[in-house]
Amino acid sequence: MTIDTKSRGGRRERPMKGTAKGAARALGLALVSLPASVLCFVLSAVSVSLIPVGIGIVTTPYVLTAVRTYANGRRVLAAEWGGVRIPPSYRPVPQDANPWGRTSGMLRDPATWRDLRWLPVDMTAGFVTALLPAALLLYPLEGFALAVGLWRVMPDGYWYGFVPVSDQTSALGAGVLALVLLFLAHFLAPRLLDAHFRLTRAVLGSGRGELTERVRVLTETRRDAVDTSAAELRRIERDLHDGAQARLVAMGMDLGTVEALMEKDPARARELLAQARRSSAEALTELRELVRGIHPPVLAERGLGDAVRALALRLPVATEVTVELPGRAEAPVESAAYFAVSEVLTNAVKHSGADRVWVDLHHADGHLRVTVTDNGKGGAVTGAGSGLTGVERRLGTFDGVLAVSSPAGGPTLVTLEIPCALS
């Protein structure tokens, strides 16, 4: 495992480099978001329209889950690239609900309709605001090319912007215009990308009644947390009863038999003492594993970064961990993040077929952000029966976000984000 520790503080990009990076991001976002938004919108419209004939009852939950995953991915990008927070406010769907219950529950959720309204906005105005930063940066290249001689191969009546290009003088005018556009791109490109993310927030955000909606969501996630804690307590009681407690009782019985055999059958007594010693060692091992499952000692003593490093060392695949945490979060947040990462890594090892995993932990803008990437076969989704659903519910207790990008063929990128402060 490779450990890479860096500091984010004090690192500044040169203006032109930052502009080019933002334009490249915007271009990639435009090229990916247009087909993805069109596909999600078409599938949603077709699936919902098929509900009256029964087919849509089965397909709609899967389609809307994919739309939610896509929207959550864009929320993460808005936070990471634009500093624009768009908290999700989906109502949880009961895991044991039948197809009609899942379909009706998701369609009654106002957040679902915000997602569906956002898709056509994203494929039109969103596409334009994402494409313009790259266009502003790339279009001047044509003007410079015209100025150095490209005008000679252009047809008569060719225009660059509002400049008709017919000779070297007019071509130099096109070059001057290109220089002005490049200067404007330096100032306008970041603002256009910011406008794209703010447009996304305007449609995806819950608007009026946001506080009421957040209170409702947090109440439901808190109820989920209570249910999860009760289930965890029952698991601990069961493990103690069936494991360590049974071994300790058996050890006590063996020691009682040893007392009776010390003078009559010393050889048998020694065998029972050896068996009792083995039972005590096994009980101690089980207790240590149980304690590690409740709250790993390394997490309490060394913090989240070292706990994830220790977790990665036990994985059977090559794992690279990058930690950029200048302090520690509160213990409940660290615990939630640790077990969320543990579940994601377990899924990657068991189901992805990956031979390499990358984990990145950092804190920025008041949020703890963890990304787990593997080079496996992809296809990971959140939904009934998926371990990622439990992760999403665990993070929801802390107003956290889970986003999954896992196209068929891989790679899989899972991003976890929890608002918190470091001490």
- Which tens digit of pLDDT belongs to each residue from 249-303? 777 777 777 777 777 777 877 787 788 777 777 777 766 666 555 567 778 788 8
The pLDDT score that the predictor gives to residue 11 is 38
The pLDDT score that the predictor gives to residue 13 is 40
Return all residues near 74 (Cβ < 8 A) that are at least 6 apart: 33, 86, 122, 200, 204
Average pLDDT, rounded, for the chain: 78
Pairwise CA distance, residues 155 & 201, whole Å:
45
Residue among 162, 76, 39 at smallest CA distance from 395: 76
The pLDDT score that the predictor gives to residue 396 is 73
DSSP state of 352: I
Q: What percent of the chain has pLDDT over 90?
A: 10
Cα dist from 396 to 28, 87, 88, 197, 380, whole Å: 30, 10, 9, 23, 19
The pLDDT score that the predictor gives to residue 46 is 94
Segment 201-260, tens digit of pLDDT? 888 886 555 556 566 666 666 666 555 556 656 666 666 666 667 777 777 777 777 777
Pairwise CA distance, residues 363 & 8, whole Å:
9
Average pLDDT over residues 163-168: 77
pLDDT bin (cut points 50, 70, 90) of residue 119 is very high
Average pLDDT over residues 409-423: 85
Total Cβ atoms within 10 A of residue 278: 13
Pairwise CA distance, residues 193 & 21, whole Å:
11
**Could you tell me if 26 and 197 are in contact, meaning their C-beta atoms sit under 8 angstroms apart?**
no
Segment 355-403, tens digit of pLDDT? 889 999 998 878 889 999 988 888 777 664 556 777 777 777 777 888 8
Q: Is pLDDT above 80 for 120?
A: yes
